[in-house]
Amino acid sequence: MAKNLVIVESPTKAKTIKKFLGKNYDVIASEGHIRDLPKSSMGIDIDNDYEPHYITIRGKGELLATLKKASKKADFVYLATDPDREGEAISYHLSVALKLEDKKFKRITFNEITKNAVKTSIKNARTVDMDLVDAQQARRVVDRLVGYEISPLLWEKLGKKSLSAGRVQSVALKMISDREKEIEAFIPKEYWTIEADVKVPGQKGLVSFEYKGELTDGKEAEDLKKKLMKSDFIVSDIKTSTRTKKAPVPFTTSTLQQTAASKINFSTSKTMRVAQQLYEGVEIKGRGTVGLITYLRTDSTRISEEADANVRQYIRDTFGAEYEAEKTEPTGDKAKNIQDAHEAIRPTDVTITPAVLKGNVTAEQYKLYKLIYERFVGSRMKPAEYSIYTVTISADDSLFKASSSTVTFAGYQNVYNTEEEKAKKAVNLGGIQKGDKLDCEEIRTLQHFTEPPSHYTESLLVRTMEENGIGRPSTYAPTIATLLNRRYIVREQKNLYITELGQAVNNVMENAFPEIVDIDFTANMETLLDSIGDGKTDWKVVVRNFYPDLENEIKHASENLEKIKIADEVSDEFCEECGAQMVVKYGSYGKFLACPNFPECRFTKHYFERIGVACPDCGGDIVRKTTRKGRPFYGCINYPECEFTSWNRLVDKKCPKCGKYMIIKGKKVVCSDNECGYTEDRPEED
């Protein structure tokens, strides 16, 4: 009998696939890439039309020898790496490294690791798609040119050789920086609301009705309250309406990362790691190793006809035919450059419910599978239906409203529900009739201030990157991980903050390479890379058009960076070990003081940048500090005796209105007390 060899990427995947194929198949893992660009040099021959130079990855020699030996023994080789551009590139490099002849190998792909999918892929084996290989190659070449050309300039500028720039990571860093600037410059605006607590027939306790009007200050609110206290509260209008809420579509990579962050508190990297485990296969008692979900890197919400039929049958059997959604194309927000190369992320077998799985998998695997499973089943169920009852009350010429919402048909919410929907408390307004006079027990005036834009979280950053066409499903998690690992950003309570080091890197990129950090430029590059994969554009044309502009920017930046190169700033403090005058250095946690006689003397100490402002609490110097994770703030030099801190820089001036300390917000100097609200323009020279 003929002996066939199947090469996959991971040992777990090999184990899962092996049981689907007969004894005439050997399955071996390449453990990712076999060949890649060298780490020690750029590996791009710019003078030879940007020809890449690939080498065998260090440490893969023994594995490559094993693969060569197995491929020579085999009558036929199937390259079964992941069904995306990177997987296509790995298959191509395997065919080159193993010196496979065209008649001896084929490429197979499957969106899920099931017996049917694997056997079908072998029947539909094809040649390697060189358009997809070229698209991946173009991405690697462009990213390599950016990283290896710009990074040395960052080393020169900031004196730290662990710094790096990247085509996608630099844009993401700028997005975080811009958001921080927006938040810092935000000045809250005061507004007021009024609530009337009213007795409602048939309802225990009081019902709060909200005033439908705008109030900008406390005096206006108090004047209206006095007027309302003398007024009758008459029911002037009652409306009954219906509302439907459609089921969400199945998960894409982006929406899975966002939802996993909000519902089960997973970081993007953790979500992808656990999803990879579910895709490659998990040992289930009585079933062996089973691939539980479809491929995890996708921007499509489409599912196969077979999967659609199976889940609909499951819904009819479990919930009843009345819960099955109409057979129409699912709608949802789609990115501009959606590739639709794969299905959405879904369970491979709808009969493997979370209950069946519990006890066979880790807690992390269970949580993520349950999320994917419930979203998928819910996507083929009918919308939830609500009855909305809205009551309007008139008090003189002021209107107050309250609404109650009742679920009349749960639909998909029997399976997939959000915490917000579960938390809603029903209010019974059915006992009210138009013209009724209601007793108002209390009128409350409430002061509010407008909120600044939200800090980026990982999920919000992923959503914004997707909306702007920055990166692709496979790049979101690695991009954020790189920024965190480089200490350009830190994560605190889910929020992402730019560090002092990250801000310094971003300043260089914005000034020297504005096109690289331009969102539209980066999105356009992604579109060009997509067109290479579609066979519409030659990959070298994209690189030829890109590199000359980059080269000119690098030459220009090199000249300017030499002129403005930052020398070590000499401090007014002296080394406690050798007596030399200490200098200011940059580190992973921001600035620190170091002895200039390094490496002979290695003494260092904290650097405190005095800003010339006295502490409002104790009169000591206010200094610029950084948190352990690198986020800058301002605090008293006398800590821990004095614990005064502020996220905003203070100015040497008291508020003329209330006497409290003042802070900088963008182009304004504002009172630190929001209730005071005093602001003035920041001096031009500042």
**Rounded Cα gap, residues 488 and 501, in angstroms:** 6
Angle at 122 between CA 338 and CA 134, to 5 degrees: 40
Cβ 128 vs Cβ 107: under 8 Å: yes
Angstrom CA distances, 585 to 90, 301, 399, 453, 501, stand at 43, 50, 62, 33, 11
- In residues, how long is the chain? 686
User: How far from the centroid of its chain's Cα atoms is residue 183's Cα?
Assistant: 19
Nearest to 149 by CA among 607, 555, 503: 555
Strands 569-574 and 581-587: antiparallel
Task: Compute the radius of gyration of the chain from its Cα atoms.
Answer: 31
3-state DSSP assignment of residue 456: coil
> What's the first-to-final CA gap in the chain, in angstroms?
82
Is 295 among the catalytic positions?
yes
Q: In this structure, which amino acid lies at residue 73?
A: K
DSSP 40: S
Q: Give every CB contact of residue 454 below 8 A, 6+ residues apart in sequence.
A: 460
Torsion, CA 263, CA 267, CA 273, CA 276, rounded to 10? 40
Of 78, 211, 295, 488, catalytic: 295
Other Cβ atoms within 10 Å of 597 Cβ, number: 15
Q: Which two tokens stand for residue 192?
A: 């007021």
Q: Which two structure tokens, joined as six digits, stand for 628? A: 């352990």
- Neighbour count for residue 437 (Cβ, 10 Å): 10
* Core vs surface per residue 283-298: b (16+ CB within 10 A) or e: ebeeeebbbbbbbbbb
Active site residues: 295
